[in-house]
Copies of this chain bind each other. A is one copy, B any other.
Amino acid sequence: MNAEIIAVGDEITSGQLLDTNSQWLSQRLAELGIRALYHTTVGDELEPCAAVFRQAIERADVVVATGGLGPTADDLTREALAQAASHPLVLVPEALEHIRTLFASRKRPMPKQNEVQALFPSGSRVVPNPHGTAPGIDLETARPGRSPSRFFALPGVPAEMVEMWPYVASALAGMEKVARVVCRRNVKCFGAGESQIESMLPDLIRRGRTPTVGINASQATIILRIAAEGASEAECQALIGPTVATIRQHLGPLVYGEGDEELQDVVVRLLAEQGKTLATIEVGTAGTVAQWLASVPSKGCFHGGLVAAEADTLGSLLGVDSALLARHGLSSGEAVEAMAVACRDRFRTDYALGVSAFPEPVPVGVEPKPVFFALAGPGGIRRKQVPFALHPALLTTYCAKHALNLLRLALLGL
């Protein structure tokens, strides 16, 4: 079984918006053993859109389109699909009711214009959209002499599209021809570069090996991607397991997690296991460490963080000695240590993590000012400094990862 993925919208063909939906959908389809043959993007015009849909129905068993389901005049997916499949648009009362309910729960009147979102090509099933006004479309289209093509139209808003995916996945799982399964597992590392990590491994990363192992770096996180194909998930996992074990054995504590796990997930898990609490104080990183920690279900481990954009704040909120800050400067190991100690004291936590970064672009060849890290904890203070030669836009992410890794290693007793 094969698929075509379509993105609809002038904002994509014109280059104003980067389409990330199609990649995500390819990955999800691959997990179901369905290979995407084409990605197509078309603008907000009826005829080209209908022609693209018609071609996709013709050449792919499954079509997943995103975008063009909004209520405004340039949202043409409904109409284009009705034309392409020769199924006229009809009003679906249950969809209208959903849209009405959604507006009512937001205490806003439903504009007349939104009624068009309840129009569906005849014979469609409605794909529920729990948090948006645009329901999706699930339409089977007959193809003379062949099995029908199944067309799913989802909203272009990534969060809504992602939330509606399980409907599509279970609809596809119900179709007979899904046979081979592809499973993937990602092992995530922090603390060394891509080529250093590659050189620490035996010869895993080469074409033709089973399972395949790929390596890539994403903002200082090194990801090893292991993939295997088989008749069942169990078969795939049996192939992948020993490779993961080999990787972990060779890389030791450089490996911090798998799959979607980020450093903050691991740190919070370790804190919870050890019954410890944490607070943060950040200068120059826009509170990125606090944001990441607060975005994870923290089970009460993370108490909060202070984002200090001015030095005054360190005195007025944490009681850091202003003479010490004046003597050493904010960008110093002494300052960040005093910040971490004061933070631990004021927040009354077991650990406090401090970062002091002054993101400034530096010409190539010039040594950049280091970023200073400190961890105050029951076992005393750990300090670290790293000179980052990075674009300021990347610096906060790198800093936040280094800070969390400092805590991770401390929690592991390393």
Contacts and interface: CB of A to CB of B under 8 A. Distances in A.
Interface in A364-406: 364-368, 387-391, 393-394, 396
A154 B257 CA distance: 30
B310 A225 contact: no
A205 interface: yes
B225 A11 contact: yes
Interface in A102-146: 102, 105-108, 111, 113-114, 130-131
Nearest to A305: B307
A175 to B, nearest CB: 20
Given A40-B38, A101-B364, A291-B286, A217 B70 contact: yes
Task: Please tell me the size bucket of the interface on A.
Answer: 35 or more
Interface in A33-62: 35-45, 48, 52
Contacts of A341: none
Q: How many copies does the complex hold?
A: 2
Q: Which residue, A163, A206, A309, has most C-beta atoms of chain B within 10 A?
A: A309
A291 B305 CA distance: 12
A309 B316 contact: no
A222 to B, nearest CB: 10
B14 A35 contact: yes
A13 B214 CA distance: 13
A254 interface: no
Contacts of A195: 71-72, 111, 113-114
Nearest to A312: B303
Contacts of A262: none
Interface in A356-370: 363-368
Nearest to A13: B36
Contacts of A22: 15, 41
30 contacts: A7-B39, A13-B36, A13-B37, A14-B184, A15-B23, A15-B36, A16-B27, A16-B225, A18-B18, A37-B42, A37-B48, A44-B214, A71-B194, A72-B194, A74-B215, A105-B368, A105-B389, A111-B199, A113-B199, A130-B391, A159-B394, A286-B290, A290-B307, A291-B307, A295-B396, A303-B308, A303-B309, A304-B313, A316-B347, A317-B347
Interface of A: 7, 9-20, 22-30, 35-45, 48, 52, 70-74, 98, 101-102, 105-108, 111, 113-114, 130-131, 157, 159-160, 163, 184, 193-196, 198-199, 205-207, 214-217, 225, 227, 279, 286-288, 290-295, 298, 300, 302-310, 312-313, 316-317, 346-348, 363-368, 387-391, 393-394, 396
